[in-house]
Amino acid sequence: MSRSPAVNALSSEASKPAPSTSVAGSRLAALNAWVAEVAALTAPAAVHWCDGSDAENAALVAQMQADGTLLPLNPATNPGSWLHRSDPDDVARVEHLTFVCTSREEDAGPNNHWMAPAAAHAKMDALFKGCMRGRTMYVIPYCMGPIDSPLSRCGVEITDSPYVVANMRLMTRMGAPALARIEREGLERAARGEGGDTFVKGLHSIGELDPGRRFIMHFPEELAIKSYGSGYGGNALLGKKCHALRIASYQARHEGWMAEHMLIVGIENPSGETHYVAAAFPSACGKTNLAMLIPPEGYQREGWKVWTVGDDICWMRPGADGRLYAINPEAGYFGVAPGTSAKSNPNALATIDANTIFTNVGLTADNQPWWEGLDNGERPATDWRGNPYDPDKGPAAHPNARFTVSAKQCPSWSPMAEDPQGVPISAIVFGGRRASLVPLVFQARDWTHGVLVGAAMGSETTAAATGAVGVMRRDPMAMKPFCGYNFADYFSHWLSFDGAGAALPKVFHVNWFRKGDDGKFLWPGFGDNLRVLEWMIGRVKGEAGAVETPIGHLPIPTDLNLEGVELSDEARAKLFGFERAGWQAEFASIGEYLDGYGPRMPQALKDEQSRIAVLLAD
Q: What are the tens digits of pLDDT across the range 193-252?
A: 887 778 999 999 999 999 999 999 999 999 999 999 999 998 999 999 999 999 999 999
pLDDT of 26-77, one tens digit each? 458 899 999 999 999 999 999 999 999 999 999 999 999 999 999 999 999 9
In terms of Cα–Cα distance, which of 553, 303, 378, 567 is closest to 453? 553
Q: Give 359's contacts (C-beta < 8 A, 6+ positions apart).
A: 83, 84, 85, 86, 233, 401, 402, 403, 404
Secondary-structure class of domain 13-69+89-255 per CATH: alpha beta
Helix, strand and coil content of the chain, in percent to the nearest 5, comes to 35, 20, 45
pLDDT given at position 189: 86
Q: How many residues does the chain have?
A: 618
pLDDT given at position 31: 95
pLDDT given at position 28: 82
Phi then psi dihedrals of residue 300, to 5 deg: -60, -45
pLDDT of 18-28, one tens digit each? 334 433 334 58
407/409 Cα distance (integer angstroms): 5
pLDDT of 385-409, one tens digit each? 999 999 999 999 999 999 999 999 9
Phi then psi dihedrals of residue 468, to 5 deg: -65, 145
The mean predicted confidence, pLDDT, of the chain is 93
Could you tell me if 608 and 448 are in contact, meaning their C-beta atoms sit under 8 angstroms apart? yes
Domain ranges of the chain: 13-69+89-255, 260-332+413-617
Using the predicted structure, report yes or no on whether residue 466 has a pLDDT greater than 60.
Answer: no
357/70 Cα distance (integer angstroms): 8
What topology does CATH give the domain 260-332+413-617? Answer: Phosphoenolpyruvate Carboxykinase; domain 3 (3.90.228)
Using the predicted structure, report yes or no on whether residue 370 has a pLDDT greater than 60.
Answer: yes
pLDDT over 70 percentage in the chain: 94
pLDDT given at position 375: 87
- Given pLDDT bands bounded at 50, 70 and 90, which one contains residue 290? very high
pLDDT given at position 285: 85
pLDDT given at position 462: 62
pLDDT given at position 10: 52
Specify the range with the lowest mean pLDDT, choosing from 133-147, 177-191, 351-365: 177-191
Could you tell me if 312 and 263 are in contact, meaning their C-beta atoms sit under 8 angstroms apart? yes
pLDDT given at position 14: 32
How far apart, in Å, are the Cα atoms of 81 and each of 72, 74, 198, 227, 399?
6, 8, 35, 27, 20
Using the predicted structure, report yes or no on whether residue 9 has a pLDDT greater than 80.
Answer: no
pLDDT of 400-445, one tens digit each? 999 999 999 999 999 999 999 999 999 999 999 999 999 999 999 9
Which residues belong to the active site? 285
pLDDT given at position 213: 95
Could you tell me if 251 and 259 are in contact, meaning their C-beta atoms sit under 8 angstroms apart? yes
pLDDT over 90 percentage in the chain: 88
Q: Give 285's contacts (C-beta < 8 A, 6+ positions apart).
A: 431, 432, 433, 459, 462, 478, 513
pLDDT given at position 550: 98
Half-sphere exposure (CA, 13 Å, Cβ side) for 12? 2
CA quadruple 187, 189, 104, 97: dihedral positive or negative? Answer: negative
pLDDT given at position 283: 77
- Given pLDDT bands bounded at 50, 70 and 90, which one contains residue 348? very high
Q: Is 605 helix (H, G, I), strand (E, B) or coil?
A: helix
**CB-CB neighbours of 106 under 10 Å:** 15
pLDDT of 502-552, one tens digit each? 999 999 999 999 999 999 999 999 999 999 999 999 999 999 999 999 999
101/121 Cα distance (integer angstroms): 9
pLDDT given at position 467: 61
In terms of Cα–Cα distance, which of 54, 40, 55, 1 is closest to 23? 1
Average pLDDT over residues 311-337: 97
Annotated binding-site ranges for substrate: 93, 232-234, 283, 400-402
In SS3 terms, 275-291 reads as EEEEEECCCCCCHHHHH
Annotated binding-site ranges: 93, 232-234, 241, 261, 283-289, 312, 400-402, 433, 526-529
Specify the range with the lowest mean pLDDT, choosing from 29-33, 205-209, 275-279, 469-473: 469-473
Using the predicted structure, report yes or no on whether residue 15 has a pLDDT greater than 90.
Answer: no
pTM greater than the 0.75 cutoff: yes
Which one-letter DSSP state was computed for residue 240?
I
Question: To the nearest 10°, the Cα dihedral for 519, 522, 524, 525?
Answer: -90
In terms of Cα–Cα distance, which of 478, 469, 473, 538 is closest to 506? 538
Helix (H) or strand (E) holding 472: strand 472-474
Could you tell me if 290 and 282 are in contact, meaning their C-beta atoms sit under 8 angstroms apart? no
